[in-house]
Homo-oligomer: A and B are copies of this chain.
Amino acid sequence: MIKAGIIGGAGYTAGELIRILLNHPDAEIDFVYSTSQPGKAVSTIHQDLAGETDLKFTDAINKEADVVFLCLGHGNSKKFLSENQFSDNTKIVDLSTDFRMSGDHEFVYGLPEFNKKEIQSAKNIANPGCFATAISLAILPLAKTGKLKDDWHVNAVTGATGAGTSLSETTHFTWRDNNFSSYKSFGHQHLNEIGQSLKKLQPSYEGEVNFIPNRGNFSRGIHATAYTKYEGSLEEASEIYSEVYKDAVFTHLVDGELHLKQVVNTNKCLLKLEKFDNKILVTSIIDNLLKGASGQAVQNMNIMFGFEESAGLKLKANYF
């Protein structure tokens, strides 16, 4: 049993980590750090845990924890690590954007379908963004085989948990219920990490990823469609994707219809390929809080520590 710490314990991704780790066969929660709630029972904030745990938030950190998850706002992970030191053996999984772009740091980009080997030996992980995960898993296989030539056109919709726990107009129920809207068109911050992965896999690629994000009136999940010009056949594309994901535990190609609730409350990514004239369309669905955040964080932990990759992540879909 390894000991896990969670920093920033009151948000959505911390809650999901706690839910997963409480039932993990190889890890146990050592501490949940929250400067705003120290001493309070974790189940007063994550109220579904009533009856399941006596865990309390703490403002004390165990520097000897085996793994520490940073569930802090973007920009705050760097700051936190500059102010707090962990033992040399402590592995860090950061869920913010702070270390996703390569640079002067030791963090490996934690997209297991493409970086598994580096993750196995990583000390620290930069956990991918939610949109970045859904879109990267949709478009990277063609880059891996050097097949990309043209721009991608991506449209994706996310649930309200994507906006975090703070109250805002666009997460007010009376606004969001039965509503739909787009935002940050062509400028979403996750385009950086997607572009970095594309360049790494196919350095010659000069196309653009045109991405329009949308706010859906549901709480969990991302549904993304991505199309580009592609000269090969559907069969050829299917072979490429099947090959790329043949050992993937959570990412699968499906033949039938795709709809978001197939993956809600699971760590899966389901993909569907279609060909229309000279275009290939890839549809990709994930749960933004699991495969798009805390689930993938635990998957990365499992890989780093040599546990079964799906340990603690055999989650029952909500489905309805």
Contact = CB atoms under 8 A, between A and B. Distances in A.
Nearest to A220: B320
A218 B180 contact: yes
Nearest to A51: B252
A157 interface: yes
A259 B181 contact: yes
A168 to B, nearest CB: 7
A23 B316 contact: yes
A195 to B, nearest CB: 15
A15 to B, nearest CB: 7
Contacts of A262: 47-48, 50
Contacts of A80: none
Interface in A211-230: 212, 214, 216-221, 223, 225, 227
Nearest to A268: B51
Contacts of A270: 50-51
Interface in A253-268: 254, 256-266, 268
Interface in A1-26: 12, 15, 19-20, 22-23
A314 B157 CA distance: 30
Contact of A320 (B177, B182, B216): B177
Interface size class of A (residues with CB under 8 A): 35 or more
B316 A19 contact: yes
Counted per complex, copies of this chain come to 4
Interface stretch (A55-63, A67-75, A273-281): A273-281
Nearest to A22: B314
A281 B185 contact: yes
A128 interface: no
Contact of A173 (B171, B315, B317): B171
Interface string A27-62: 000000000000000001011111100000000000
Contacts of A159: 174, 178, 320
B50 A210 contact: no
A319 to B, nearest CB: 5
A137 B22 CA distance: 26
A120 interface: no
14 contacts: A46-B319, A153-B153, A157-B157, A157-B180, A161-B320, A173-B175, A173-B217, A177-B177, A177-B217, A180-B221, A182-B283, A185-B225, A212-B225, A289-B320
Given A19-B317, A157-B180, 5 more contacts: A47-B259, A173-B177, A173-B219, A177-B218, A180-B221
Interface of A: 12, 15, 19-20, 22-23, 44, 46-51, 153, 155, 157, 159-161, 165, 167-182, 185-187, 210, 212, 214, 216-221, 223, 225, 227, 250, 252, 254, 256-266, 268, 270, 274, 276-277, 279, 281, 283, 289, 314-320
